[in-house]
């Protein structure tokens, strides 16, 4: 029994290698990912320290990775924009000095209800003119056509044509907007920002960096955050009939804070931005009893080839580095436990077994004493 207790004590001395809970073994990481570093198959895998040089390098990288200006495929159409009538629109035709040809809207009758609807085949009926093709034409072209046709019955006709009901062309605005809806395309060019405004703006959960525009079987990604914050108008595309504009939520823009913090949790990034200090602060900081602030790790990327950064925050001024270290979505932050904490946890788990063995040995000794003459 004494040998058993001695063996148990020896196992306790090496317990840190197989203790409960997660712990970061840097040597094991290097061995696991040997030959997978960026430099080539012969390079060792390194855990990069978070220092001033790294922060400067990351800042330069962010400047180089700013969203490239997008080429709006309808840029020329936007410059020469002129609304073209389509099926189901409603037109109003006013012939000056000929009220019999002008349907009065009246004070309480909307012009849309008393205008001339364009049928599904793109035609419209007008007195003394008959059925004419108007779909695909501009208002100026329709006005010239009606003037030419009415000239045979009216001397020098003067008329005006307006669209009083834009029903034919629409875009869909979905996702994280206050009022997802269909937005009509009118005689005023409709851009992405205009459509979102007409949908009553964005919700608090909107991810502006990954707005998608679906058009003709293709999907385009637009960075509206660059539009709002940097004035990148190349992201503000002109919309056309049938477009679907979707504003995604930010549920994937999370970082995970684990280990010896007061409140391990996942944290949502605000506008795709969060620093290491903010993530730790939102988790109520390091656990003052069990944490080892000198070993704070940021694990990024895939399991096959992760990037690992290490912050030595045993001195509070090192947190100034953490305030400038920008996280990325899906980063994992791990705060290691102190060696003494791990040891105490192991002892806590082994203690019941040791007590059981000691009680068994004590009971055996008592039995031997009672049986001896």
Report the CATH number that the domain containing residue 109 is assigned in CATH. 3.30.1950.10
Q: How many helices (H) and strands (E) does the chain have?
A: 11, 16
More confident: 45 or 320: 320
Q: Do 94 and 174 fall into the same domain?
A: no
Q: Do 199 and 155 fall into the same domain?
A: no
Q: Do 98 and 161 fall into the same domain?
A: yes
Q: Do 176 and 232 fall into the same domain?
A: yes
- Distance of alpha carbon 338 from alpha carbon 30, whole angstroms: 21
Arithmetic mean of pLDDT, 274-294: 92
Which domain-ending residue is among 231, 247, 263?
247
- The packing angle between helices 339-371 and 2-13, to 10°, is 180
- Distance of alpha carbon 352 from alpha carbon 300, whole angstroms: 39
**235: which 2 tokens?**
């992201």
**Structure-token match 């509206």, residue found:** 224
Residue 110 lies in a domain: yes
**pLDDT recorded at residue 212:** 95
**283: which 2 tokens?**
């988790």
- Distance of alpha carbon 246 from alpha carbon 195, whole angstroms: 11
Residue 72 lies in a domain: no
Residue 91 lies in a domain: yes
**Is the model's pLDDT at 18 over the cut of 80?**
no
Helix (H, G, I), strand (E, B) or coil at 22: coil
Domain extent, residue 210, equals: 170-247
Q: Do 189 and 149 fall into the same domain?
A: no
CA-nearest of 66, 37, 26 to 227 is: 66
* Upper half-sphere CA count for residue 311 (Cβ side, 13 Å): 27
First to last CA, the chain: 23
- pLDDT tens digit string along 62-71? 777 666 677 8
Q: Do 160 and 205 fall into the same domain?
A: no
Residue 368 lies in a domain: no
Which domain-ending residue is among 232, 247, 262?
247
Arithmetic mean of pLDDT, 155-180: 92
Mean per-residue pLDDT of the chain: 85
Residue 5 lies in a domain: no
Which domain-ending residue is among 203, 229, 247?
247
| Contact present, 290 and 260 (Cβ < 8 Å) | yes
Which pairing describes strands 170-175 and 244-247: parallel, antiparallel, or unpaired?
parallel
- Distance of alpha carbon 285 from alpha carbon 300, whole angstroms: 21
**pLDDT recorded at residue 303:** 83
Q: Do 160 and 102 fall into the same domain?
A: yes
| Contact present, 266 and 229 (Cβ < 8 Å) | no
| Contact present, 134 and 142 (Cβ < 8 Å) | yes
Residue 334 is part of a domain; what is its CATH number?
3.10.560.10
Q: Do 127 and 191 fall into the same domain?
A: no
Q: Do 210 and 258 fall into the same domain?
A: no
Arithmetic mean of pLDDT, 165-182: 94
Residue 62 lies in a domain: no
Q: Do 157 and 183 fall into the same domain?
A: no
**Is the model's pLDDT at 112 over the cut of 70?**
no
For residue 160, what are the β-bridge partners? 94
Taking CA atoms, 340 is separated from 290, 291, 336, in Å, by 8, 10, 12
> What residues contact 67, with CB distance under 8 A and at least 6 apart?
223, 226, 232, 235
Residue 211 lies in a domain: yes
Q: Do 138 and 154 fall into the same domain?
A: yes
Q: Do 134 and 185 fall into the same domain?
A: no
Compute how many other C-beta atoms are within 10 angstroms of the C-beta atom of residue 153.
Answer: 12
**pLDDT recorded at residue 299:** 93
269-278, 312-321, 361-370: the lowest-pLDDT one:
361-370
Long-range contacts of 263-272 (CB under 8 A, 24+ apart): 269/327, 269/329, 271/208, 271/209, 271/225, 272/207, 272/209, 272/225, 272/329
**pLDDT recorded at residue 42:** 47
- Distance of alpha carbon 55 from alpha carbon 311, whole angstroms: 12
| Contact present, 295 and 24 (Cβ < 8 Å) | yes
Taking CA atoms, 188 is separated from 78, 159, 163, 173, in Å, by 10, 22, 12, 18
Residue 92 lies in a domain: yes
| Contact present, 17 and 286 (Cβ < 8 Å) | no
> What residues contact 249, with CB distance under 8 A and at least 6 apart?
175, 176, 205, 206, 207
**pLDDT recorded at residue 349:** 79
| Contact present, 331 and 50 (Cβ < 8 Å) | no
Arithmetic mean of pLDDT, 8-18: 53
Using pLDDT thresholds of 50, 70 and 90, give the confidence band for residue 327: very high
Residue 55 C-alpha from the chain's centroid: 24
Number of structural domains (the chain) is 3
């Amino acid at each position: 029994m004494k040998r058993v207790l001695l063996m148990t004590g020896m196992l306790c001395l090496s317990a840190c290698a197989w203790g409960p809970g997660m712990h970061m073994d840097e040597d094991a990481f290097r061995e696991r990912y040997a030959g997978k570093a960026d430099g080539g198959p012969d390079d060792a895998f390194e855990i990069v320290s978070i220092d001033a040089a790294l922060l400067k390098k990351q800042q330069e990288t962010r400047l180089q990775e700013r969203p490239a200006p997008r080429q709006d495929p309808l840029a020329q159409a936007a410059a020469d924009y002129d609304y073209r009538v389509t099926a189901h629109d409603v037109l109003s035709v006013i012939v000056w000095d000929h009220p019999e040809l002008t349907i009065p809207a009246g004070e309480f009758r909307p012009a849309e209800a008393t205008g001339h609807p364009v049928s599904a085949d793109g035609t419209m009926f007008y007195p003394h003119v008959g059925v004419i093709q108007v779909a695909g034409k501009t208002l100026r072209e329709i006005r010239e056509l009606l003037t030419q046709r009415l000239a045979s019955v009216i001397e020098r006709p003067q008329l005006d044509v307006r669209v009083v009901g834009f029903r034919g062309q629409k875009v869909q605005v979905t996702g994280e907007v206050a009022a997802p809806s269909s937005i009509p395309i009118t005689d005023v060019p409709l851009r992405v920002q205009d459509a979102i405004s007409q949908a009553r703006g964005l919700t608090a959960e909107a991810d502006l960096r990954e707005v998608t525009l679906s058009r003709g079987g293709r999907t385009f990604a637009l960075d509206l955050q660059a539009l709002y914050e940097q004035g990148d108008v190349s992201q503000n595309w002109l919309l056309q009939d049938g477009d679907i504009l979707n504003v995604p939520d930010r549920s994937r823009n999370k970082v995970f804070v684990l280990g010896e913090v007061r409140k391990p949790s996942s944290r949502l990034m605000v506008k795709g931005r969060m620093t290491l200090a903010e993530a730790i602060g939102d988790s109520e900081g390091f656990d003052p009893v069990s944490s080892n602030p000198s070993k704070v790790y940021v694990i990024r990327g895939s399991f096959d080839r992760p990037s690992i950064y290490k912050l030595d925050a045993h001195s509070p001024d090192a947190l100034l580095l953490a305030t400038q270290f920008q996280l990325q979505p899906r980063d994992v932050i791990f705060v290691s436990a102190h060696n003494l904490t791990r040891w105490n946890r192991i002892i806590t788990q082994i203690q019941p077994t040791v007590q059981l063995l000691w009680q068994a040995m004590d009971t055996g000794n008592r039995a031997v004493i009672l049986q001896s003459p």
